[in-house]
Structure 1
């Protein structure tokens, strides 16, 4: 069964002729399709990693939690991020991919909801009591909601993932989940090793800076929706 599928894939790429199915074509197909698949995975991984490492609402929360509670105590937040991305991506693949392509207004509405939610997080962070640790307001549930509303999920689901039935893209989804965990760990480490010292010496400054950054992200999302930015 597998050799036959391999041959069909090779034939669709024009690697072997339609009449060329025999035992000698199997190794040819395997030699060519293998590198093609690895190249596709490599390109996908690089694009996703570049997107995930870009500063944004979810990464800001992860860095702040890493600064306030340390990497180990913040690891449960990674589950919230992975679950949020997978919910959005699987919904796009299974239900809403074609619908969103023909109804751009829904994607804009999601961005507007994201802007409102990120603004709420900025206010919540700013109004934390001075005695509260910087990571106190950051929970797996809030990371999950923030990730669900993060436009990065739309980019992955509609642009970066191959447009194919769900059974054929499971390897990409598993690879994406691993990359999310890696990027999240990087941002937790950024908070733990680069921001923690500043938080201990000037906690109000760190919270104010992070709150201001989230507010700028919120305004950027809203400006994109209304065509200002």
Structure 2
């Protein structure tokens, strides 16, 4: 039986603003819920790519290779900064410049620090029978949260005239991503 504490902890972490949620919100603002639905497999694949190896290797990986965690954090900070800059500078009127890609969602989710918490703290050990039901529930919550963030993005466009509101949303999202990137850098420096 799945623990209520697990559900609340995962939802609290998934719902928190972060790079993947920001992209899903922008996807909703740019392309509606249909675009968000198209990007959900990329988010699921990103979490699976990050979580499954860590679940199998566990904390031993970080003990045997102490620099690996630092490399992951640096890569995440760089990628999120690149996304922030791309969002800030892609305010051209063409739709292609604004579209959030599955590749961006996948890489961002792979490098999302939340994946470390899910794999090393919240999900049960992969050796237990509980792992698959918990991971399936986790995947369902990822889908739900992606739809929530995408829906919030869609709501920003209700009765919007022109692209001004979208530009403001994109600039705020870009600034937020840069803040997340800088926070990771500060965390790395302080460690």
With the length of structure 2 as denominator, give the TM-score of the two structures. Answer: 0.90
With the length of structure 1 as denominator, give the TM-score of the two structures. Answer: 0.76
Q: 121, 133, 146: which is aligned to 1:171?
A: 133
Q: Which residue of 2 aligns with 1:98?
A: 60
Q: Which residue of 2 aligns with 1:227?
A: 190
User: Contact between 1:68 and 1:135, CA under 8 Å: does it hold in 2?
Assistant: no
User: Contact between 1:65 and 1:135, CA under 8 Å: does it hold in 2?
Assistant: no
Post-superposition offset of 1:105:
2.9
CA 1:69/1:98 → structure 2, altered by over 3 Å: closer, same or farther?
A: same
Q: Which residue of 2 aligns with 1:157?
A: 119
Task: Give matches, 1:132-151, under 5 Å.
Answer: 132-133=94-95, 136-151=98-113
Q: Structure 1 regions of 5+ residues with no counterpart?
A: 1-36
Structure with greater Cα Rg: 1
CA 1:136/1:204 → structure 2, altered by over 3 Å: closer, same or farther?
A: closer
Q: Which residue of 2 aligns with 1:73?
A: 35
Matched positions, count: 190
Aligned to 1:226, the other structure's residue is in SS state: helix
User: Contact between 1:124 and 1:137, CA under 8 Å: does it hold in 2?
Assistant: no
Q: Which of 1 and 2 has higher RCO (CA within 8 Å, sep 6+)?
A: 2
Post-superposition offset of 1:71:
0.6
The whole-number CA distance in structure 2 between the counterparts of 1:191 and 1:70 is 8
Answering whether residue 34 of structure 2 is matched by residue 107 of structure 1, we say: no
User: Contact between 1:134 and 1:207, CA under 8 Å: does it hold in 2?
Assistant: no
Q: 79, 85, 98: which is aligned to 1:117?
A: 79
The whole-number CA distance in structure 2 between the counterparts of 1:48 and 1:195 is 29
User: Contact between 1:65 and 1:134, CA under 8 Å: does it hold in 2?
Assistant: no
The whole-number CA distance in structure 2 between the counterparts of 1:65 and 1:164 is 33
1:190-221 per-residue CA deviation (whole Å, 9 max, x = no partner) reads 10013563873334322222211111111011
Q: Which residue of 2 aligns with 1:25?
A: none
User: Contact between 2:25 and 2:151, CA under 8 Å: does it hold in 1?
Assistant: yes
Post-superposition offset of 1:226:
1.0
Post-superposition offset of 1:108:
2.2
Q: Which residue of 1 aligns with 2:151?
A: 189
Q: Please say which of residues 203-212 and 181-190 is displaced more in the overlay.
A: 203-212
User: Contact between 1:198 and 1:206, CA under 8 Å: does it hold in 2?
Assistant: no
CA RMSD of aligned residues (A): 2.2
